[in-house]
A and B are shown apart, each in its own frame.
Chain A
Amino acid sequence: MKTRMKELRARYNLTQEDLARKVGVRRETILFLEKGKYNPSLKLAHDVSKALKTTIDELFIFEDNKKKK
């Protein structure tokens, strides 16, 4: 999974701590989300998208592991 969180966070001049406070999670959760190492619940994905003024599908990019023939 890839995310555009870092890019959007920079656009709105938010630190990881600011975003974590806005969403109500720990800073490590934002860090892991940005690295693509945590699959968030639908609610958290929604909250983060809302905080970054975007949509879930624009924020989180899921890559299909299976190669298309």
Chain B
Amino acid sequence: MKTKNNTEGKDKIRMAAIVIVSLAVIATGTLFSRTAFMKGDISGGVVGAFISITILAFVIFVFIRGNRDMEKGFPLQDERSRKVIEKATSKAFYISMYSLLAIGFLSENIIHFRDVSQATGIAVGMMALLFAVFWAYYNRKEI
């Protein structure tokens, strides 16, 4: 029983951390979007708004599903879900490393970024997208 209570406590902390981090990302995305629109950068503003809306949808989904699972007595994470996250993270990390090298190389001649923040934003977005793709893949695959 003590273990179950410990797991429940950890799950509540984990859920709170997910919500806080997501809200911080949403606030940053919204601020970025607003600033970009005010400067007349429509594409930057749209990207910022898109990220904020995507994260908001994600956090609502995670919050509802997580609370439902906790009420039913299931843990938020178990050994399989941790394994899926580990695999997705490591693959996303490796591919991001190569992609960052490619961005660095291509940015000199082929792709022209507005500034460093735009290149960094694209790189971070790409990492997040890669993680999501690998997570979906490993969540269905035999592991």
Residues of chain A at the chain B interface (Cβ within 8 Å): 17, 20-21, 24-29, 32, 36-41, 44
Contact = CB atoms under 8 A, between A and B. Distances in A.
Given A17-B72, A20-B74, A26 B81 contact: yes
B115 interface: no
Nearest to B142: A37
Interface string B99-132: 0000000000000000000000000000000000
Given A32-B80, A40-B79, A44-B79, A26 B143 contact: no
Contacts, number: 43
Given A37-B142, A38-B142, A26 B78 contact: yes
Q: How large is the interface on B (under 10, 10 to 19, 20 to 34, 35 or more residues)?
A: 10 to 19
B74 A21 contact: yes
B40 interface: no
A3 B19 CA distance: 38
Interface of B: 3-4, 7, 69, 72-75, 77-81, 141-143
B143 A39 contact: yes
Given A32-B80, A38-B80, A25 B75 contact: yes
Nearest to A39: B143
